[in-house]
Chain A
């Protein structure tokens, strides 16, 4: 399977704990995006990388959230001191921009439940 993969697929944690999610993009893709999706809503942009550089972060991304893409390949999203409001599906997408054309391919997501 050469699609976007995410790990873990599900995570249950207690409030106040730290969690880390991993995303492995499609290998030739230079862009990687993180989105968050809550029930009944469309995905909301969190942050994106071009190669290893983090170029934009949403105001949704509080200081408790940090993302890295150290070698321009896989990425991690860490949430520190989780809160119940962090419960959501965290989606990763990757793309290769060619001119104005860019198609984002989404991974299966990590579903986080904070108790």
Chain B
């Protein structure tokens, strides 16, 4: 079945440093979504990318979809303690079902 690999698994940064997480697939993706899960919380939708080479920004967060639609990245500029949590990429399978296949997530710790 479809899988997405996400790296790194953990990242510790000093507040103010940048952070990037990567999501890779061996197959071409129709779209990719990113979610954030705070410690003890539930996944919260951040963004969906559908076009080859697409770049979207949300304040300090930049999301990219690769040209071949097989990889994606989330980059956070100048991290803050509020960015702490686990970031998941997720892909929806082909067809009419919207079920999501999630990556393993990257857990971000930010030291103040």
Contacts and interface: CB of A to CB of B under 8 A. Distances in A.
Given A41-B104, A42-B88, A42-B105, A103 B48 contact: yes
Interface stretch (B55-63, B67-75, B77-85, B94-102): B94-102
Nearest to B98: A102
Given A48-B97, A104-B98, A42 B45 contact: no
Contacts of A108: 41-42
Contact of A104 (B31, B50, B100): B100
Interface string A29-54: 00101010000111111001000000
Between A35, A43, A100, A102, the greatest number of chain B beta carbons within 10 A of the residue's beta carbon is seen for A43
Given A42-B90, A42-B105, A103 B45 contact: yes
Contacts of B101: 45
Given A45-B99, A45-B100, A97-B98, A104 B42 contact: no
A95 B98 contact: yes
A105 B33 CA distance: 12
Contact of A42 (B30, B98, B102): B102
Given A41-B104, A45-B101, A55-B97, A104 B45 contact: yes
A109 B45 CA distance: 15
Interface of A: 31, 33, 35, 40-45, 48, 55-56, 91, 95, 97, 100-109
